[in-house]
Structure 1
Amino acid sequence: MVRVFNHWFSGRKAAFFIAEESALVLALLAGMSLGPVAHPLVTREHGLGAAFLRAAIAALAFAGALYFGDLYDLRSAARDRFDGRRLLRALGVAVVVLALAYLALPVVVPMGWIPRRSLVLAAAGGALAVIAVRAAMPAVVGAPTRVLVLGTGARARKLARDVETEADGLFEVVGFADSNGGSRSADPALPFAGAVDQLARRLRAEVVVVAVEDRRAGLPVDALLACRTHGVQVMSDVAFAEATLKRIPLDLLRPSALIFDEGFRAGPVRRAVKRAVDLGLAVGMLLAAGPVMLLTAAAVAAADGRPILYSQERTGGGGRPYRIWKFRTMRRDAEATGAVWATEADPRVLPVGRLLRRTRLDELPQLWNVLRGEMSFVGPRPERPVFLDELKRRWPLFTLRELVKPGLTGWAQLKYRYGSTMEEQARKLEYDLYYVKNTSLFLDLVCLFHTAKIVLTGRGAK
């Protein structure tokens, strides 16, 4: 795993993306070269650079189609290798985008983009490149990283299950060891006795994760140091979970993991830049979405009369209360019996409200909250005080969410479903802690890209 601007990435996943994009550019260039490579004006004045530019733009069309088809999720990509329908849909979308670009770009760029007879050859070359790289995906990505867990209790077992189910198949737990020298492989039929460094060598482990129940009982320091000096990475269970799961599990968390670890570095410069970005995006979106907001208001009024907007008290950055604004999507008497969380197929939601929630149009009035500085585009979901008090009593770390402003979108909203129970709220807190600890403009950009995909595909709405 590698850390880029405080956000954890899989190096092998990044290598797969780079390999595919490189193959795409080369294939697109090869496809175009079989026809008239460029308009004479392009060849004479721009040469090979223009050809590479066109190939790079075309590669982005393919990459975007694969991204929106969830084909950069390695588990989805692996399943699709035996089915192919998702990949074929993505390739079809990419070819359509290329065709539309061929029609539109010459209006903006007089020199032309891809010559007419080269378009089909370029699209065919790109599709073949994607299929070839996907077929060779196991060789490109490589075998899962072999992980040895120091710990044999519930803590170690749960971490192993979570990593094997949530980490894109990039990690394989090959054994468990205890602090007293009793060790065994993940296969119960293959027990081993000896120190953790001996088991690590025998099982060819690349990472040792310390997940003992009580560190005060002592750690095999000499054996762990031997692992480090022989090139085996040693990580704490919290750090390993953070890097692989992109969340900070509450059942693993110790206060020292947050006190001594890096993170929580939202300085004044970053806050000022983030505020400038929020203002620019909010003004631009309000101007662009003005007609849509008028139509949305008319649809709500026609469906259920007034009020058109829904206002509610929420808790913002620093624990300060503010009022959030949305287009109303529920009946006027939705909370006649008290405040409750929304659920799947909530009967209180109006028919037009379901459409607004699916397209996120109900969230547009919150741009006003962003302009006022009460919210940001990216941050934890703002909670109601009536729920937040109970959540803080159960999980005091909920207070850490108030270190940053709440957001229209956020890491927890993107990575986990809508929380309608206390337990689901606790899981979302794990993702919020990851965001607050690793907050950066780069992670905000990642969230905005994911949000665009979810809005365009209509996923995850309640």
Structure 2
Amino acid sequence: MIRLFKHYIPNAVFLLGLFDFFLLIASGELGWIVRARQIGLDFGPINERWAPLATFAVLVQVAMISVGVYGSEALRSLRYAAARLLVAVSLGIIAMSVVYFLLPGHTLWRSNLFYAMFLAIGLLFGVRVLLGGLLGTAAFRRRILVLGSGHRADRLRKLGERPEAGFVIVGYVGMSDGVPVVEEAINRAAIHNLTRFVDNLGVSEVVLALEERRNALPLKDLLRIKTTGVHVNDFSTFVERETGRIDLDSVNPSWLIFSDGFSSGRMLSSAAKRMFDIAASLLLLVMTLPVIALFAVLVKLDSRGPAFFRQTRVGLYGQNFDVIKLRSMRTDAEVDGAKWAQKDDPRVTRIGRFIRKVRIDELPQTWTVLKGEMSFVGPRPERPEFVSDLEDKLRYYAERHMVKPGITGWAQINYPYGASIEDARNKLEYDLYYAKNYTPFLDLLILLQTIRVVLWNEGAR
């Protein structure tokens, strides 16, 4: 995997992204040549229009990231990829048209964009047809040796069997005399030289999946393996990197303390994040004020009660604050106390069902962002009634409150809406990953991926 700003990107995705960028440059250039020849114009050298071509490539690729073109489903299914590509290129062309309007003469011609769009779709889909079967092969997967044969090793086996897995497990080494859960594991006593064994298998990484590490770490073996250039990782770090979540079953306080993350260098990043929140919330409030006003009237007409809904949530450092939303439920929705939202919740009004699906009910929260009680990106703020219960039942739940809550977040784009303790636990693993690995790059990735969630109605309830 390639690490960018503390976030890991699979090798196959990074390689495909590079291919796509150069294909988009080629699409814009070919579109320019076709249009220039149509009107009898000398198209000239490419270096005269590198800026418009780069703008075209960047905007379309950002749209591709936003709609999930590089997601695991799109990498496995050509049909899925084709649908996302059509939407992404269309959004990119719309963005280019806006740039053309704001900066006339500094972008590709609108007629040029027409040709570039179809050329881009053809080339981008073509490279997926050619590379689709290759990207998931062993050539792009890291070769892993697992030290351990118990339940943790079995979890890694299941993780490696996923179609989107970026690694292949080439062997298991049982480090104890107990009955192995992974039956194909080789007992350590049967391997004369573990370092040579690793070399013969062409292993690129060794992962420790020991059930009990105390007095069981093969330090001499690990040191020799490490000095030969092979990466050595513990179970929790490996799972964090491969899944984008903190595994609550295996982490302990010492791992959280000594592992990479929670950097003090985020002070500058936090200041930049706050400046972005202020600028974006002001702009969004001005742009969406007519929409908020329209749906406030519709909410009032649809059911009795106020148009806006105010509710107490737990924010940064466990401090309570009030969020404001457009009301989507009946006023008697919680007359019997706080309840989790349900699928096809009968308490939701007719207009409320629509504004929840398209996230219009969230728009008034930008006022909370402007006040500084929330951010655009962060863990979803929960109600005090739920938080007190979840802190009792889930380890490290309080740690998610060490970052400012957000309208969207890493958990929101990676896990569907949850309404149970088990769902809250799964989302906590993503929230802890965000709190540990926060960077502006991760925020940008989350904001872009939120477009995918909204467009395809993923996670709304």
The answer as to 2:449 corresponding to 1:450 is yes
1:125 match = 119
1:329 match = 328
Deviations 1:361-402 (A, max 9, x none): 111221222122211111111111111111111123011111
Superposition map of 1:148-297 within 5 A: 148-165=145-162, 168-180=164-176, 188=184, 193-194=190-191, 196-265=194-263, 267-297=266-296
Flag structure 2 segments of 5+ consecutive residues without an equivalent.
none
Q: Distance in 2 between matches of 1:347 and 1:54?
A: 51
Asked whether the 8 Å contact 1:151–1:211 carries over to 2, the reply is: yes
Residue type of the partner of 1:156?
A
Asked whether the 8 Å contact 1:153–1:213 carries over to 2, the reply is: yes
1:76 match = 74
Asked whether the 8 Å contact 1:310–1:326 carries over to 2, the reply is: yes
The answer as to 2:458 corresponding to 1:459 is yes
Asked whether the 8 Å contact 1:312–1:325 carries over to 2, the reply is: yes
Asked whether the 8 Å contact 1:74–1:169 carries over to 2, the reply is: no
Shift of 1:55: 3.1
Q: Any idea what SS the aligned residue of 1:223 has?
A: helix
Shift of 1:43: 6.0
2:19 match = 19
Q: Distance in 2 between matches of 1:404 and 1:101?
A: 32
* TM-score of the two chains, using structure 2 as the length reference: 0.88
Q: Any idea what SS the aligned residue of 1:215 has?
A: coil
Q: Any idea what SS the aligned residue of 1:239 has?
A: helix
1:86 match = 80
Asked whether the 8 Å contact 1:75–1:169 carries over to 2, the reply is: no
Q: Distance in 2 between matches of 1:98 and 1:262?
A: 36
Higher mean alpha-carbon deviation, 352-361 vs 63-72, is at 63-72
Q: 1:305 to 1:196 in 2, by over 3 A?
A: farther
Q: Distance in 2 between matches of 1:98 and 1:405?
A: 31
**Alignment coverage as a number of residue pairs:** 455
Asked whether the 8 Å contact 1:65–1:90 carries over to 2, the reply is: no
Deviations 1:280-314 (A, max 9, x none): 11111111111011011011101112211112211
Q: Distance in 2 between matches of 1:69 and 1:276?
A: 26
The answer as to 2:306 corresponding to 1:310 is no
Q: Distance in 1 between matches of 2:223 and 2:321?
A: 51
Q: Any idea what SS the aligned residue of 2:70 has?
A: coil
Q: Distance in 2 between matches of 1:3 and 1:302?
A: 51
Asked whether the 8 Å contact 2:66–2:451 carries over to 1, the reply is: no
Q: Distance in 1 between matches of 2:84 and 2:63?
A: 5
* TM-score of the two chains, using structure 1 as the length reference: 0.88
Q: Distance in 1 between matches of 2:66 and 2:169?
A: 31
Give the share of equivalent positions with the same residue, in percent.
35
Shift of 1:260: 0.8
Shift of 1:156: 2.1
Shift of 1:90: 4.2
Q: 1:35 to 1:174 in 2, by over 3 A?
A: same
Shift of 1:91: 4.7
Asked whether the 8 Å contact 2:171–2:185 carries over to 1, the reply is: no
Superposition map of 1:39-54 within 5 A: 48-54=46-52
2:9 match = 9
1:59 match = 57
Q: Distance in 2 between matches of 1:38 and 1:394?
A: 69
Asked whether the 8 Å contact 1:303–1:352 carries over to 2, the reply is: yes
Q: Any idea what SS the aligned residue of 2:438 has?
A: coil
Residue type of the partner of 1:4?
L
Flag structure 1 segments of 5+ consecutive residues without an equivalent.
none
